[in-house]
A and B are shown apart, each in its own frame.
Chain A
Amino acid sequence: MPSRPMIGYAHVTKSFGALRAVDDVSLDIAEGEFLAIVGSSGSGKTTLLRLANRLIEADGGTITIEGGNVQDIDPVALRRRIGYVFQSGGLFPHLSVADNIGITPKLLGAPAAEIAVRVDELIELMQLDRASHRDRLPEALSGGQRQRVGVARALAAKPRIMLMDEPFGALDPLTRDALGEDFRELHRKLGLTTVMITHDMTEAILLADRIAVMRGGRLLAQGTPAELSASTDAYVLELLRTPRRQVERLNALLLQGGAA
């Protein structure tokens, strides 16, 4: 593990009224790592993610980004250097695909010509069609295309860190699979550090290097899928059992079908 984590949480807490959404969480994410945070709704995983770019402010503990305490960084500047992909895309409905993608470079004051080149680059990278998508409004796109635009927008200002809040959750299985694979490839190619939230353990195992399991605001376990299966926590084991059971049932069904 490198001496300095890309993102570091140390004893971080956050409460909403009486609810402890994040309870004494310590977690390091190394440069180039793809971490998935898994948990059911209300487990505190989204809160944990939003603490990193100060969409939510922590009550206690320390969060560092590339070694710097986030409290010492202007939140607006912080958010501009971190890519963020929203659950349902979060695209601005009144802006074209190109304007959505180019928004963060525009906020950073990049020249229009430079932004246009970058937008075309990203449209290509995200395997969108320049001619038919570039100047359309988001409402004209399919769900998968919209999420591709959401990823392109998060990448536009060339961030080193990507935060993704259930990015593929609302998509049909085929699109979801393709998009997940494509992003995994992009993560590697661009040398990103990625934190992705999902409630789907299968997706987490397929895409992530390491998995963190949240429950009731606490971090129950973290590690590679193999390390997790050695966990003694009942909930973690239960989570891991689900994909396994699915595989077994699928195999059984498919074999049965083959025999017939």
Chain B
Amino acid sequence: MSLFTDPRWGEALSHLPDYLGNHVRVSLAALALGLVVSLPLAILTRNRPAPRAILLALASVVQTVPGLALLALFYPLLLLAASVTLKWFGVSFSAFGFLPAMLALALYSMLPVLRNGITGLNGIDPALIEAAKGVGMTARQSLVMVELPLALPVMMAGIRTAAVWVIGTATLSTPIGQTSLGNYIFAGLQTQNWVFVLFGCVASALLALAVDQLLGLIESGLRQRGRLRTALGATGIAALVAATLVPTMGRSSSGYAVGAKTFAEQYVLSALLRDRLQAAGLSATARSGLGSSVIFGALKAGDLDLYVDYSGTLWANQLHRTDIKPRAELVAELKTALAKDNITLLGELGFENAYALVMPKKRADALGIRTIADLAAHTSTMSIAGDYEFFSRPEWAALQKAYGLQFSAQRQMQPDFMYAAVASGEVDVIAGYTSDGLIAKYDLVALDDPKQAIPPYDAILLLAPKRAGDERLKAALSPLLGKIDITTMREANLRASGNDANSSPDVVAKWLWEKVGGR
């Protein structure tokens, strides 16, 4: 199939008004907030070297924090703030999506605005400030009538830099629940949909370029005191903002929000859940690409209505339990515990997506390795790879302790690349997922865990507290419970791991429903 006739372009395009609108909205709000905070600070500290140095140092420190980390930090911070305001004032707010993204991006935009603001104001010829005083201006009049207008071109250059940074970094706000052009990139990376990745990159680059050019026009207009350019640039910005915001403005955000974490199985399942709700006449949207630590909090706070999690994950991360119980028992206990938070554990989907140590089948056979206990004797000369969270999870500690594993090296990898890496021999063992279709594709084997160091990971359907009594929702979802066995899910995941049009989560979700719907 030719690259240009790929139907995924059409699918990507259909998301554009939503993704672009949200992207522009959060960038604009962040930039506005950044300006409102930074410009007065620049003005206040222009003649005070000590506070100015501290301020610039702080802003520089913020800049050195990677964008993704800064965004991720704001989620727990706001969550904490929300719980405090709830306790003290009885009001709470959503720590999910727009707010943390806007705050983090605003912080990110401050350095160029501050630095250029201060440079612009300090760069004015002292003779002109003297002249302003001499003709009878007050300090305030001198600032407004002389200093700010003269510093404006330099300030504008800072705003321009900030705008480009914010637009670029906003693509990283997807994992904390803010829809953006990053949705293309995250979804594309996770489902090997390169059309989406390309589309997202090109769209955000074009947006940044367009804004940069328009702000550049305003800047050069201000520099050369050309009213036409300034007006043209300003009109262009206004038109761009209007064009991206208007199509999404009127749309109400009511309906069910279906969450999905950042891997292919979750994209497929959220598409499946969304389709089921829509088939039952309920409006629903998928909010994909959410960080594993963000998604549960978002459900609890009611920002999400439902999503699929895994029993072992909640057992360890939410209940902080390290003991291990059989599958059914663990789910039952989890259900009771979650009910205290008013979260409904509707039931299991039927399959398990546990961590498992995975290696090429041939190599395992050659070394006579069938279980993790067999593996232990060889690990001192072997390397292991896991996803970004595996090595900091309690399961890894439990595994190491139970079997005395001592690998010579450990690496973190994008989950979808791990399987190819172990198949090619780049690493010896990976911490894979039992439901992953790539295990069969690359002829790998998941090693047995005779000591049951890894807890069970049943896929379970969770409903937000506000949906506890929603019978229509439950009825729409109940046909899925217990219907998706591990073989079916592996096949679905394998399909989703392809990189052609049939591997899109929507298409795989439909295939999955055809398989399990009649059961």
Contact = CB atoms under 8 A, between A and B. Distances in A.
A153 B229 CA distance: 30
A104 B130 contact: no
A77 to B, nearest CB: 8
A76 B141 CA distance: 11
Interface stretch (B51-59, B131-139, B271-279, B434-442): B131-139
B: contact size bracket = 10 to 19
Contacts of A91: 131
Contact of A92 (B133, B136, B146): B146
Given A92-B128, A93-B150, A94-B149, A53 B225 contact: no
Given A94-B149, A94-B150, A107 B133 contact: no
A62 interface: no
Q: Is the interface of A mostly helix, strand, loop or mixed?
A: loop
A103 interface: yes
B135 A88 contact: no
Nearest to B134: A84
A23 to B, nearest CB: 23
A90 B130 CA distance: 8
A90 to B, nearest CB: 3
A119 B134 CA distance: 19
A87 B132 CA distance: 14
A157 B134 CA distance: 13
A108 B128 CA distance: 20
B505 to A, nearest CB: 56
B268 to A, nearest CB: 60
Nearest to A94: B149
Contact of B136 (A79, A86, A94): A79
Nearest to B141: A107
A193 to B, nearest CB: 17
Interface string B118-162: 000000000110111111111001000110011000000000000
B135 A84 contact: yes
Interface in B482-507: none
Interface in A49-92: 53, 55, 76-77, 79-80, 84, 86-88, 90-92
A149 B272 CA distance: 76
A84 B133 CA distance: 10
Interface string A26-70: 000000000000000000000000000101000000000000000
A80 B136 contact: yes
Given A92-B146, A107-B141, A137-B225, A86 B127 contact: yes
Interface residues of A, number: 22
A86 B130 contact: yes
A92 B146 CA distance: 7
B127 A79 contact: no
A84 B131 CA distance: 9
Given A92-B128, A94-B225, A53 B134 contact: yes
A88 B130 contact: no
A55 B130 contact: yes
B136 A153 contact: no
A95 to B, nearest CB: 8
Interface string B277-290: 00000000000000
Interface string B252-266: 000000000000000
B128 to A, nearest CB: 7
Contacts of B131: 86, 90-92
> Of B127, B128, B135, B149, which is in contact with the most chain A CB atoms at under 10 Å from its CB?
B135
A228 to B, nearest CB: 30
Nearest to B137: A107
Contacts of B146: 92, 94
Interface in A107-166: 107-108, 137, 153, 157
Interface of A: 53, 55, 76-77, 79-80, 84, 86-88, 90-94, 103-104, 107-108, 137, 153, 157
Cβ-closest 6 pairs across A and B = A90-B131, A80-B136, A84-B134, A79-B136, A94-B149, A104-B135
11 contacts: A55-B133, A76-B136, A76-B138, A79-B135, A84-B134, A91-B131, A92-B128, A92-B131, A93-B150, A94-B146, A103-B137
